[in-house]
Amino acid sequence: MPRVVVFGSSNTDLTMRVPRLPEPGQTILGSSFTTTPGGKGANQAVAARRAGAEVVFITAVGDDDLGRQALELYRREGIDVSHVRVVEGVASGVALIFVGDDGENLIGVAPGANHRLTPEDIDGLPASLFGKDEVLLVSLEIPVETALRALRRGAEAGMLTVLNPAPVPAISESAAKDLLSAATVITPNRVEALALTGMTPEVGAQPDWPRCAERLLAMRKLAVVLTLGSRGCEVATAEGTWSIGAHRVEAVDTVGAGDAFSGALAVALAEGRSPLEAAAWANAAAALAVTQPGAQSALPNRDAIDRLAARGAPPYRMASGGGSCAIF
Ligand code: RIB
C-alpha cells in the first residue's frame, strides 16, 4: 500500500443548509444544521485513506472536546495521528459553512490551533516520515511558513510534493514563488491560480489567463493541475496540456470536493501513475464527493472511485503542446 503524508488543518464544520447563499447584511432562514469533521488537511487525509493509501496526518488541534473527537474519528479511519500536536489553552479549528440549494457554498474559518503549527514542529518530525519517492500533500489552512518548511523538507528528502494552495494566503509574489517552487505538483483552482501569480484583475476586468498560465508553468516541476469544479480539470506537464471533462452527477454539496480531488490525486501519484492518469482518477473522486452532503461524510472509497473512473472516463483533449499557455 502506498503511503501519503498529509500536512494541513483540522476543523469542525458547522454547516447550515440555506435556499441561497446570503448577501452581505442579509439574514436567511436555513433548513438544517449539522456539526461534522472537516478542515482541508483532514479532508485530504481521509480522502487519501479511503482512496487506498496508508496515511500519516500532521496537524494541530486544541485540548478541547472538538479536537479529541476529531482525532478519534481520524483514528477510526485508520489514519496515523501519532504526530499531531495538541495545543493547550487554544481552541480547535472551526469552519462556519453555508450551503445553498444549488450545492454552492460560503465558508469562514477560525483556524485556532491550526495556526500554532510552526516550522520548528516540522523540523522536529522524524526523518522516517519523509521517505524518498513517497508523496507529501500540503494545503494552506496552516501558517504559510510552516507549509513551506514541510514542502522543502519533503523535497530535500526526494519526496513528490503536492501543494493544494487553498485557501490562498495574502503573501508577496516572491513568497508565493517560493511556495510554488517547492512543490512538484500544484492543484490550484482558477481564483488561487490568479492570486498566487499576483494577477487578480480589477473588478470587471478580464483575467490575463495566458500570462497567469505562463507564470505557473514556469514554476512547476512536474505538473500543474487546475481544478475547474463542474468543468473538470486541466493538466499541464512538460509533454503538453490536457483538458479532462467532469463526470455528470447531481451536485448536492460541493464542500470538500477539491479535497477529495487532491487526496485521490496524491494516492494515484504515490502508486506511480502519471499526473494525467492521476488527475483523471481524482476527477472521479471529486465528482462522487459532490453527490453527498458534508465534507468527510461525502468522501468516496476506492471501489466507488474505480467504478466511476472506469465507467467511460471523460475524454482527454490534447489542448496544446508543452509549455504553451492553453491550460486556461
Ligand atoms: O475544503 C473544505 C473545508 O474548508 C471544510 O471542511 C472547512 O473546514 C474548510 O476548511
Question: Which of 74, 141, 189, 254 to probe ligand 1 with, by most ligand atoms within 8 A of CB?
Answer: 141
> Containing domain of residue 196, as a range?
3-319
Q: Give a yes or no: residue 313 inside a domain.
A: yes
Ligand 1 proximity of 253 Cβ (cutoff 6 Å): no
In percent, the amount of the chain with pLDDT more than 90 equals 69
Q: Give a yes or no: residue 189 inside a domain.
A: yes
Q: Is 63 a catalytic residue?
A: no
Report pLDDT digits (tens) over 99-154. Answer: 998 888 899 999 999 999 999 999 999 999 999 999 999 999 999 999 999 999 99
Q: Report the length, in residues, of the chain.
A: 328
Report pLDDT digits (tens) over 192-222. Answer: 988 888 888 888 888 777 677 677 877 767 7
In this prediction, residue 316 carries a pLDDT of 63
| H or E element that contains 236 | strand 233-237
Ligand 1 proximity of 300 Cβ (cutoff 6 Å): no
Confidence band, pLDDT 50/70/90 cuts, at residue 81: very high
Instruction: Establish how many alpha carbons lie within 13 A of residue 3's alpha carbon, considering only the half-sphere containing its beta carbon.
Output: 13
Whole-number mean pLDDT of the chain?
91
Question: Which of 255, 262, 290, 297 to probe ligand 1 with, by most ligand atoms within 8 A of CB?
Answer: 255
Q: Give a yes or no: residue 326 inside a domain.
A: no
Ligand 1 proximity of 13 Cβ (cutoff 6 Å): yes
In this prediction, residue 328 carries a pLDDT of 46
Ligand 1 proximity of 256 Cβ (cutoff 6 Å): yes
Give how far the C-alpha of residue 19 lies from the chain's centroid of Cα atoms, to the nearest Å.
27
In this prediction, residue 319 carries a pLDDT of 54
In this prediction, residue 321 carries a pLDDT of 45
Q: Give a yes or no: residue 328 inside a domain.
A: no
According to DSSP, the β-strands at 11-18 and 240-244 are: unpaired
Q: CATH code at 171?
A: 3.40.1190.20
Lowest mean pLDDT, pick from 49-63, 76-90, 290-304, 306-320: 306-320
Q: Give a yes or no: residue 324 inside a domain.
A: no
- Through-space distance between the first and last CA atoms of the chain, rounded to whole angstroms: 35
pLDDT higher at 45 or 222: 45
Q: Give a yes or no: residue 226 inside a domain.
A: yes
The model's pTM = 0.93
Ligand 1 proximity of 255 Cβ (cutoff 6 Å): yes
Lowest mean pLDDT, pick from 67-71, 249-253, 255-259: 249-253
Number of domains composing the chain: 1
Cell numbers for 31, please give them: 433548513
Q: Give a yes or no: residue 327 inside a domain.
A: no
Alpha helices in the chain (DSSP H): 40-50, 65-77, 119-123, 144-156, 173-181, 190-196, 209-219, 257-270, 275-289, 302-310
Q: Give a yes or no: residue 112 inside a domain.
A: yes
Cell numbers for 46, please give them: 481521509
Q: Whose CA is nearest to atom 10 of ligand 1?
A: 39
In this prediction, residue 229 carries a pLDDT of 87
In this prediction, residue 142 carries a pLDDT of 97
